[in-house]
């Protein structure tokens, strides 16, 4: 395998908008997204030069060593960004308000990503019992900075009974984003609660080479531009009323996740092309 495959100029954020995938190790991507003959140890290097962001899933199942985060940082190009799921064991704590040491340990390690570190996702799965007061105390534990770097936090609460106007107000008070999950399986709402937007698109189809049709990708590009410009799309579901006036410009993170996973890299790259056009 020559380095010609890595010679192309990596995609950058387009007007603050990034598009990417969940993880980079997936067997069906070999010979599909990844060229035949590419060794597995170079898959991150390749993927990070074809999408502008990757959401790390492995951290959800266990923290990594700081040296691993540093290795991932060094394998990716400038302007590339990782999002990362916080370890599941933290959100599964019997008392969230007492999880401070675990939060600090996770963030101290992942800080080795340096300028590649993007939003941190705190995912509470459906069926997880959440006490409102304990949840509010937990959000107080999430630090605003690590060293000189500002942190961005994303809340992904999948219990429909917990997702209401009070939840949105709490997220806004802390300046934390809530996930827009374009999925029939999870709460799906596009109310913006932070100075950035985090979307996980979960409707790719195996029968379409790019996962989404051309018209759908144009529509998502238009929505992304609206978010980036400080607006909110008027064709997505909401919990609360739409804002009266646009906010300041925002960064936007769009990930193609799950569904026909084998098509997600093509979907992300097609969206980047649409944004670039």
Q: Look at residues 170, 159, 72 and name the one whose alpha carbon lies nearest to residue 123.
A: 159
Higher pLDDT, 269 or 277: 269
The answer to which of 77-81, 127-131, 194-198, 268-272 has the lowest mean pLDDT is: 127-131
pLDDT digits (tens, 9 = 90+) for 44-98: 999 999 999 999 999 999 889 999 999 999 999 999 999 999 999 999 999 999 9
pLDDT value for 5: 63
The answer to which of 1-10, 41-50, 51-60, 150-159 has the lowest mean pLDDT is: 1-10
Q: Where are the domains of the chain?
A: 14-276
pLDDT value for 60: 96
Q: Look at residues 76, 149, 67, 71 and name the one whose alpha carbon lies nearest to residue 109.
A: 67
Phi, psi (degrees; rounded to nearest 5) at 160: -55, -30
Question: Helix or strand or coil: residue 55?
Answer: strand
Please tell me the CATH superfamily of domain 14-276, with its number: Protein of unknown function UPF0759 (3.20.20.410)
- Residues 227-254 have a mean pLDDT of 93
Q: Is the pLDDT of residue 8 over 80?
A: no
Q: How is residue 109 written in tokens?
A: 């390690």
Q: How far apart are CA 213 and CA 230, in angstroms?
A: 26
Strand order in the sheet with 177-178: 177-178, 153-157, 117-124, 81-85, 53-56, 17-22, 251-256, 196-201, 180-182
Higher pLDDT, 4 or 167: 167
Model confidence at 243, in pLDDT bands (50, 70, 90)?
Answer: confident
Q: Is the pLDDT of residue 41 over 70?
A: yes
pLDDT value for 1: 46
For 186, residues 6+ apart whose C-beta sits below 8 A from its C-beta are 126, 158, 202
β partners of residue 120:
84, 153
Q: Is the pLDDT of residue 3 over 70?
A: no
pTM of the model: 0.95
pLDDT value for 189: 96
Instruction: Provide the Cα torsion 179, 206, 213, 267; round to 10°.
Output: 50
């Amino acid at each position: 395998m020559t380095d010609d495959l890595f010679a192309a100029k990596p995609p950058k954020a387009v007007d603050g908008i990034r598009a990417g995938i969940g993880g980079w190790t997936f067997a069906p991507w070999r010979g599909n997204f990844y060229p035949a003959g590419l060794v597995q140890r170079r898959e991150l290097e390749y993927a990070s030069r074809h999408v502008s962001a990757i959401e790390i899933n492995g951290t959800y199942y266990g923290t990594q060593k700081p040296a691993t985060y540093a290795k991932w940082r060094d394998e990716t190009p400038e302007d590339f960004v990782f999002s990362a799921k916080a370890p599941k064991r933290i959100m599964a704590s019997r008392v969230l308000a007492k999880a401070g040491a675990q939060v600090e340990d996770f963030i101290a390690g992942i800080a080795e990503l340096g300028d590649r570190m993007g939003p941190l996702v705190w995912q509470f799965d459906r069926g997880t019992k959440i006490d409102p007061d304990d949840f509010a105390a937990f959000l107080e534990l999430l630090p605003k900075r690590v060293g000189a770097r500002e942190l961005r936090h994303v809340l992904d609460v999948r219990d429909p009974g917990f997702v209401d106007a009070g939840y949105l107000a709490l997220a806004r008070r802390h300046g934390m984003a809530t996930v827009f999950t374009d999925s029939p399986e999870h709460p799906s709402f596009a109310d913006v609660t932070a100075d950035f937007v985090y979307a996980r698109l979960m409707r790719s189809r195996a029968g379409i080479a790019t996962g989404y049709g051309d018209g759908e990708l144009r529509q998502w590009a238009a929505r992304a531009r609206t978010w980036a410009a400080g607006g909110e799309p008027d064709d997505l579901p909401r919990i609360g009323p739409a804002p009266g006036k646009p906010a300041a410009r925002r960064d936007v993170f769009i990930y193609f996740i799950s569904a026909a996973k084998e098509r997600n890299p093509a979907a992300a790259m097609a969206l980047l092309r649409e944004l670039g056009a």
